[in-house]
Chain A
Amino acid sequence: MDSGTASASRRVTSEAVGTSLPRVDGIAKVTGRARYLDDLDAVGAWHGVTVRSTIPHGILDGLDRDPAFDWTDIVVVTAADIPGQNVITLIELDQPALVPVGGTIRHVDEAIALVAAPTRARAFAAARAITARVTPLVPVLSIEDALTGPIQLHGADNVFKRFAIRKGHATDGEIEAALAASAHVIDSVYRTSPQEQMYIEPQAMMAEWREGACHVTGSMQCPYYVHKAMKPLLDLHAEDVIISQTVTGGGFGGKEEYPSMIAAHAALLAKVAQRPVKIVYDRDEDIAATTKRHPALIRHRLGLDALGNPTVIDVDVVMDGGAYATLSAVVLSRGVLHAAGPYKCPVVRIVGRVVATNHPPHGAFRGFGAPQTTFAYERQIEKAARLMGADPLAYRRRHALRAGDTTATSQVLGYSVATDEVLDAIEQCAGTPPVRDGVNASGAPVKRGRGVCFYFHGAGFTGSGEQRLAGRATVALAAGGRFEVRASSTDIGQGAITIFTQLAADGLGVDASRIDVIDPNTARVPDSGPTVASRTCMVVGGLVEAGAKLIAARIRAWAESVGRAGSIEDLADDAFGALGPIAETTQYTPPPGIAWDDATYTGAAYPVFGWAACLVDVAVDLDTYEVAIERCVQAVDVGKAINPAIVKGQIEGGTLQALGWAVLENVVYKNGKVANATMTNCIVPTFADAPELETIIVEVPYPFGPHGAKGVGEIPMDGPAAAVANAVALALGVEFDELPISPEVVAQRLGGQS
């Protein structure tokens, strides 16, 4: 069902912004002309394949090559071939590009050697002809073992990173006292499962060395992350590393940090092979070796007074970081910053830890820690509403944050708080809840239920991240009356190119067809920051808009100086003749009054939040215990929809990923190895599993975003899983505090009785 736009803002009138301009990259994609990495003509390129560990923990004693194998035309690379430091530079410098002989294997499917050959088949055969000699060590394969077991993988306590947020109290004793003084305490433990991003284009990268410089191109979200990682690894100066993005077939966080690893491998092979080397992962390899959403274990205690008002929130979040630190600290940070939810509460303690295990590293995935903690708090709020006999939406409305209220980090919300708008939107289209008992199309009895949730998501980098990053983007005048947008923000399907086109066209006052968004290449575009954190439109889009306005002003100033009149479109070509390729690069500046204290984790965690509410109707088949999502409505506040169709597409896609996570997706580890590493067994929803999605765009503008826009990419992922769990709990009268709510779990909770 298509639904309208509930706009709380003054309608911005312009040619481009606010219209559903068809995707700029659409024609190439519907005709098959778009070239993804594996589609590029790569004359003379060899194929790279990774040799991987088969044990979760141990010492790599040696690598043996099968003497019976024909090694002609095969290039083998080991850690000994790395010209610089054997490390994939990210937050910590703990992850090697290749485990060296004598070094420690820390997870199954860790890279231990590389091969390249003229054909993929030969490369696979060569990889199979290399055997690792290892001394196994006892692995750590659960959060509990990491916290309490004897094996030390990281420091003395296996904790990669910890955070603590305190509001309204100074000591732990005060928390216990506040809980003791509460009329009710809802004390529950929640578990969420790892989730595979399952972009349909597998990871792919190609490297080539020319005149001492290393050129890497491929499927990625963040060219400058790869750039930063390649310099120390290859011992090169910045200008000798050139990273460019090819058309990218989805990312969802999965192509945020891991591409640096593949880039490293391709670059090393290309150096030794002295020719281009292409690495395209098999789907199975991609599922087995690359990052997933962090599994989490969350204890949430919610204290209520006799009237049902939250008086204390105490959350303990533990995430499984896997074998290396990767982005876990930042994922955990976002997780804890969202853990109290968008609710008023005077006393809050949130403690977060991310621990080292011998699982393949967990990493970025849409929502970035917030879906895990949102699941916990929205289950808690549901239980509180039920305990108080309150209507679930009314209870949320009563206790939700509004402008002027403070969050868990004591951030005073000033503007763009859309609590009432999103709750109104859901309430207005809710209709009658389903009748509890029924029969489905298979003739099986079903129990139906309706669940809701209300949630928020911080837009942009956490805390002072955007200031530190100081992202830059350029708008330039080009020949032929055209304009260029240059930024390292990538289009991974989310529509960045189209949004930038619209914002630039609007800022310049020209038709969208005049804009060229330049392919991200570190030699040609400034670092506008990574394509993550729902920041591309809000932060980088704002820079594009600002740059466009500056260029327009310079053209008008020139026109005035020479006595010309006319539109920017009319003037552009002559302006280029007179002024040349003038360019304006703008840099991010934070909104006024934003202050964050990293030491105490207090202040403005985010410049602004997006707000959302979700309604889900489920039917549980009592013969098979399958949960069918019969209806899903999402009302999401995005500030301003620059391109409503693209915004709706982001919400719909994120929503289905969330529904999949709720009921059917899972990554099954067995002895540290992904046991379901095929697309057949690591399942994502098909057309048949997807309900018709009802999406309501809410616009409560952010004064410092382009046309009022804030983030949209991640928020739809956060809430639906809790709404599903709330609906199933109501339908069956049994609590579901773990994800996924698989048929097996439902069967177990119902005691195997239909």
Chain B
Amino acid sequence: MPKLTLRVNRQTHTIDCSASTLLVEALREQLRLTGTHVGCDTSQCGACTVHVDGASVKSCTMLAVEAEGAEITTIEGLADGDKLHPMQAAFQEHHGLQCGFCTPGMVMSAVDLCKRVKAPSEPEVRTWLEGNLCRCTGYHNIVKAVMAGADGMNGGKP
């Protein structure tokens, strides 16, 4: 197996990895970062969304080797120790989740949005997140949570 060096959540890992291994497989199976979920085989659900150099990417559409040299952040790397990231806090506080399976991908996409757009409007939130499917919430509380999370990221109360 070829060796591969990945920077994930501010740590450097060297793993054995085939060139055809997907990034999501490397994260889940080799680094055991299981907060990144797999909900489909067709790049639809968005549950595997992570950040690659700060941009949200469905980690099932990318090979692990392609991520070499990039800074990867998964849901596990978002909180500062026990202190939730403002977006995580907003999802928790505003009931932006039910079963939670889509939540890590949803949070990662939302953080990417709110880094680019400080105070997104409701339509902007809905457009930005249309690559993330949720079957539990009807999306309503997720929109509320993301808007609150945007406030939180800008120093307001999440």
A residues within 8 Å of B by Cβ? 20, 22-23, 25-36, 38-39, 41, 197-202, 247-252, 282-284, 492-495, 645-646, 648-649, 652-657, 678-680, 684, 686-688, 690, 692-693, 695
4 further contact pairs, Cβ within 8 A, besides A249-B39, A645-B95, A649-B95: A30-B89, A35-B34, A645-B94, A687-B125
Q: A200-B47, A201-B99 are in contact. Are A687 and B139 (CB under 8 A)?
A: yes
Chain A neighbourhood of B129, CB < 8 A: 687
Distance in angstroms from A150 CB to nearest chain B CB is 40
Q: Are B138 and A693 in contact (CB under 8 A)?
A: yes
Chain B neighbourhood of A201, CB < 8 A: 37, 39, 99, 101
Q: B79-111: which have CB < 8 Å to A?
A: 79, 84, 88-89, 91-95, 97-104, 107
Q: Are A495 and B98 in contact (CB under 8 A)?
A: yes
**Bound CA span A30–B75, Å:** 8
Q: Are B101 and A22 in contact (CB under 8 A)?
A: no
Q: Are B99 and A31 in contact (CB under 8 A)?
A: no
Q: B113-141: which have CB < 8 Å to A?
A: 122, 125-127, 129-141
Q: A199-B99, A680-B42 are in contact. Are A686 and B133 (CB under 8 A)?
A: yes
Q: Are A29 and B135 in contact (CB under 8 A)?
A: no
Chain B neighbourhood of A20, CB < 8 A: 95
Q: Are A679 and B44 in contact (CB under 8 A)?
A: yes
Chain B neighbourhood of A655, CB < 8 A: 138
Q: Are A657 and B135 in contact (CB under 8 A)?
A: yes
Q: B8 in the interface, Cβ–Cβ < 8 Å?
A: no
Across the two chains, which residue of chain B brings its CB closest to A40?
A: B34
Q: Are B39 and A202 in contact (CB under 8 A)?
A: yes
Q: Are B99 and A693 in contact (CB under 8 A)?
A: no
Chain A neighbourhood of B135, CB < 8 A: 197-200, 250, 252, 653, 657, 684
Q: B56 in the interface, Cβ–Cβ < 8 Å?
A: no
Distance in angstroms from A30 CB to nearest chain B CB is 4
Chain B neighbourhood of A654, CB < 8 A: 138
Minimum-distance CB pairs A-B, first 8: A32-B35, A493-B99, A29-B100, A249-B101, A652-B138, A39-B34, A32-B75, A493-B98
Across the two chains, which residue of chain B brings its CB closest to A250?
A: B99
Q: B59 in the interface, Cβ–Cβ < 8 Å?
A: no
Chain B neighbourhood of A23, CB < 8 A: 92, 95, 97
Distance in angstroms from A474 CB to nearest chain B CB is 25
Across the two chains, which residue of chain A brings its CB closest to B78?
A: A31
Across the two chains, which residue of chain A brings its CB closest to B92?
A: A26
Distance in angstroms from A626 CB to nearest chain B CB is 16
Q: Are B37 and A656 in contact (CB under 8 A)?
A: no
Chain A neighbourhood of B47, CB < 8 A: 200
Chain A neighbourhood of B142, CB < 8 A: 687
Q: Are A30 and B44 in contact (CB under 8 A)?
A: no
Across the two chains, which residue of chain A brings its CB closest to B88?
A: A30
**Bound CA span A251–B136, Å:** 9
Option from B41, B104, B134 in Cβ contact (under 8 Å) with A678: B41
Q: B10 in the interface, Cβ–Cβ < 8 Å?
A: no
Distance in angstroms from B60 CB to nearest chain A CB is 11
Chain A neighbourhood of B134, CB < 8 A: 200
A-B contact pairs, 25 of them (CB 8 A): A22-B93, A26-B100, A27-B92, A30-B84, A31-B76, A34-B35, A39-B34, A200-B37, A200-B134, A249-B100, A249-B101, A252-B135, A645-B94, A653-B98, A653-B135, A653-B136, A653-B138, A656-B139, A678-B42, A679-B42, A679-B133, A686-B133, A688-B126, A688-B127, A693-B140
Chain B neighbourhood of A678, CB < 8 A: 40-42
Chain A neighbourhood of B104, CB < 8 A: 30, 32
Distance in angstroms from B95 CB to nearest chain A CB is 4
Q: B52 in the interface, Cβ–Cβ < 8 Å?
A: no
Task: Count chain A CB atoms within 10 A of each CB in B33, B129, B135 and give the residue with the most.
Answer: B135
Q: Are B140 and A652 in contact (CB under 8 A)?
A: yes
Chain B neighbourhood of A199, CB < 8 A: 99, 101, 135
Distance in angstroms from A648 CB to nearest chain B CB is 8
**Bound CA span A690–B130, Å:** 10
Distance in angstroms from B124 CB to nearest chain A CB is 11
Q: Are B41 and A493 in contact (CB under 8 A)?
A: no
Q: Are A36 and B75 in contact (CB under 8 A)?
A: no
Across the two chains, which residue of chain B brings its CB closest to A716?
A: B138
**Bound CA span A688–B21, Å:** 32
Q: Are B95 and A27 in contact (CB under 8 A)?
A: no
Distance in angstroms from A361 CB to nearest chain B CB is 21
**Bound CA span A686–B47, Å:** 13
**Bound CA span A679–B136, Å:** 16
Q: B147 in the interface, Cβ–Cβ < 8 Å?
A: no
Task: Count chain B CB atoms within 10 A of each CB in A282, A653, A688 and give the residue with the most.
Answer: A653
Q: B57 in the interface, Cβ–Cβ < 8 Å?
A: no
Chain A neighbourhood of B88, CB < 8 A: 30-31
**Bound CA span A679–B131, Å:** 12
Q: A31-B76, A33-B35, A680-B44 are in contact. Are A493 and B100 (CB under 8 A)?
A: yes
Q: Are B126 and A200 in contact (CB under 8 A)?
A: no
Chain A neighbourhood of B107, CB < 8 A: 30
Q: Are A492 and B32 in contact (CB under 8 A)?
A: no
Across the two chains, which residue of chain A brings its CB closest to B101?
A: A249
Across the two chains, which residue of chain B brings its CB closest to A652?
A: B138
Distance in angstroms from B120 CB to nearest chain A CB is 12
**Bound CA span A230–B57, Å:** 41
Q: Are B130 and A200 in contact (CB under 8 A)?
A: no
Task: Count chain B CB atoms within 10 A of each CB in A41, A252, A652 and give the residue with the most.
Answer: A652
Distance in angstroms from B132 CB to nearest chain A CB is 8
**Bound CA span A686–B140, Å:** 12
Chain A neighbourhood of B32, CB < 8 A: 41
Q: A31-B75, A655-B138 are in contact. Are A248 and B133 (CB under 8 A)?
A: no
Task: Count chain A CB atoms within 10 A of each CB in B100, B138, B143 and give the residue with the most.
Answer: B138
Q: B72 in the interface, Cβ–Cβ < 8 Å?
A: no
Q: B65 in the interface, Cβ–Cβ < 8 Å?
A: no
Interface string of B63-81 (1 = CB under 8 A from A): 0000000000011101100
Q: A200-B135, A688-B130 are in contact. Are A26 and B37 (CB under 8 A)?
A: no
Chain B neighbourhood of A684, CB < 8 A: 133, 135
Chain A neighbourhood of B95, CB < 8 A: 20, 22-23, 645-646, 648-649
**Bound CA span A375–B44, Å:** 30
Chain B neighbourhood of A198, CB < 8 A: 135
Q: B150 in the interface, Cβ–Cβ < 8 Å?
A: no
**Bound CA span A36–B97, Å:** 15
Chain A neighbourhood of B98, CB < 8 A: 250, 493-495, 649, 653
Across the two chains, which residue of chain A brings its CB closest to B108?
A: A32
Q: Are B39 and A652 in contact (CB under 8 A)?
A: no
Q: B23 in the interface, Cβ–Cβ < 8 Å?
A: no
Q: A31-B76, A656-B138 are in contact. Are A687 and B130 (CB under 8 A)?
A: yes
Q: B153 in the interface, Cβ–Cβ < 8 Å?
A: no
